[in-house]
Amino acid sequence: MRKSAISVILALSISMFSMPSQAKLIFLTGTVTALFVSGAESPAESVSFTMSFGVQTTGCTNPAPTNQIFVFTPADISDAQTRKNMLALLMAARISATPVTVDWDNAGANCDATGFPVPLYVGL
């Protein structure tokens, strides 16, 4: 009985400490401080935007760690209408200074090829 109890405790301990960490979805609200659409050196239909909230853990390499920049391209979000809707919402929010909520995961599961986090949702 004692050996089986020790075995169970050991098995539970090993499984608890060996479980992979799960991504946590982060929702933060702020204003869009910058919005850029495709440049000469960017992929076609590339959209990048900077939010007013401070730098957050994204799990991405984020080459500009002093700003909270998000990027999405057709490679990141394949549905063209979704990209258009997201861009329209970001443009309206930027022009009106209306706060928007951005959602992303903090484990790096959704990073752009350039190392920036890809927004999962953007909403008013």
Domains and CATH numbers, the chain: 21-123 (2.40.50)
Along the 124 residues of the chain, how does pLDDT read in single tens digits? 555 544 444 343 443 333 335 668 889 999 999 999 987 777 778 999 999 988 788 888 877 776 789 999 999 999 999 999 999 999 999 999 999 999 998 888 899 988 899 999 999 8
pTM of the model: 0.77
**pLDDT at position 3, please?**
52
* Burial bucket for residue 2 (CB in 10 Å: 0-12, 13-18, 19+): exposed
Q: How many helices (H) and strands (E) does the chain have?
A: 2, 6
Cβ atoms 60, 117 nearer than 8 A: yes
**pLDDT at position 19, please?**
35
Which of 77, 78, 55 minimizes the C-alpha distance to 122? 77
